[in-house]
Amino acid sequence: MGGLSRKGGGRIGDKVLRALVWVSAAATFAVLLSIIGYVLLRGVPHLKPSMFALSYNSENLSMLPSLITTLMAVGISLAVSVPLGVFAAVYLVEYAGSGSRLVKVIRMTTETLSGLPSILYGLFGLLFFVYYLGWGVSLLAGGMTLSIMILPLIIRTAEEGMKSVPIEYREGSYGLGAGRLRTVARVVLPSAAPGILAGVILAIGRIIGETAALIYTAGTHTEIPEGPMASGRTLAVHMYQLSGEGLHVDQAYATAVVLLIVVIGVNAASAAIAKRIAKV
């Protein structure tokens, strides 16, 4: 009888947990759907062709220069942070000992950096890149600040992706005569590519939505930057400026629609690339 009662209690507990999971999933989906729906309802009616003009002025409030600046900032940030993050993860997983003091220090540092507010990164970028290095308020200063901001995320996701690669893959490669470097390059990294790409997706999302760090480092210039040393504003900063003025709230919602489409497009493209890599 005691065994039957325990089984009955376990089944009830499973049903309760399953119900809680479904409720949580439904609540999450409802919140996401409500946010997307609200942004679309407020922003789509105010989208105009003039908002995609190549040059910004007070009449068209064009967001196209900001969109191009956003893509440039993403490129600069990923070009710096992805190689550094992946190489650091390779060292932590494949070369450093699990009990190494250096590994503990690096992991503690990355966890600390990942929890810092973005405004602190902006102040650091302002003091170091803008003033100390003399780069001025520029896209390069903003991109380097963002690369430092997303570096802990890249390291952690790349590290977890490589840890998920079965040890048998490495042993099989060593058994065929491959060295450690060739094993990492030909076996571990390709197998961990979907996990690394997931971290890159999260990093891109943070770059696209960042405002505080870029206002101090990249500036708020409304035109397309002529080079990395020129100032510019991203879509998020553009939306912040429009909403902060209080005179162009409708245009800010229209910018939010484009920002939402960009994020969804990046996620969809990255997911497709991850599936293709996984099949290979």
Domain boundaries, the chain: 2-46, 50-279
**Predicted pLDDT of residue 278:** 60
Backbone angles phi, psi at 140, to 5 degrees: -65, -45
Beta-carbon contacts of 214 under 8 Å, excluding residues fewer than 6 positions away, are: 73, 122, 142, 145, 146, 233, 234, 236, 237
The pTM (predicted TM-score) of the whole model is: 0.84
The pLDDT tens digits along the chain (280 residues) read 445 455 555 677 778 888 899 999 999 999 989 988 998 898 888 888 888 888 888 788 888 899 999 999 999 999 999 999 999 999 888 887 666 787 888 888 888 888 888 889 999 999 999 999 999 899 999 999 999 999 999 998 998 888 888 888 888 888 888 888 888 888 888 888 888 888 888 888 888 888 888 998 998 888 888 888 999 899 999 888 888 777 788 888 888 899 888 888 887 877 777 677 666 5
CA 259/CA 267 separation, integer angstroms: 12
**Predicted pLDDT of residue 154:** 92
CA 275/CA 28 separation, integer angstroms: 25
**Residue 265: enclosing H or E segment and its boundaries?**
helix 249-279
Task: Tell whether domain 50-279 is in CATH 1.10.3720.10.
Answer: yes
**Predicted pLDDT of residue 277:** 66
Backbone angles phi, psi at 67, to 5 degrees: -65, -45
Q: From the centroid of its chain, how far is CA 189? A: 20
Find out whether 201 and 277 touch, Cβ atoms under 8 Å.
no
Beta-carbon contacts of 222 under 8 Å, excluding residues fewer than 6 positions away, are: 56, 65, 66, 233, 238
52 secondary structure, DSSP code: G
**Predicted pLDDT of residue 34:** 92
CA 105/CA 83 separation, integer angstroms: 20
Find out whether 230 and 136 touch, Cβ atoms under 8 Å.
no
Alpha-carbon distances of 205 from 21, 57, 59, 79, 199, rounded to whole Å? 26, 28, 30, 15, 10
Q: From the centroid of its chain, how far is CA 79? A: 13
DSSP string, 112-171: HHHTS-HHHHHHHHIIIIIIIS---S-HHHHHHHHHHHHHHHHHHHHHHHHHTS-HHHHH
SS (H, E, C) 49-80: HHHHCCCCCCCCCCCHHHHHHHHHHHHHHHHH
CA 87/CA 260 separation, integer angstroms: 32
Both tokens assigned to 14: 């499973």
As a whole number of Å, the CA-based R_g of the chain is 23
**Predicted pLDDT of residue 227:** 86
Beta-carbon contacts of 270 under 8 Å, excluding residues fewer than 6 positions away, are: 197, 198, 200, 201, 204
Say which amino acid occupies 119. Answer: I
CA 85/CA 102 separation, integer angstroms: 16
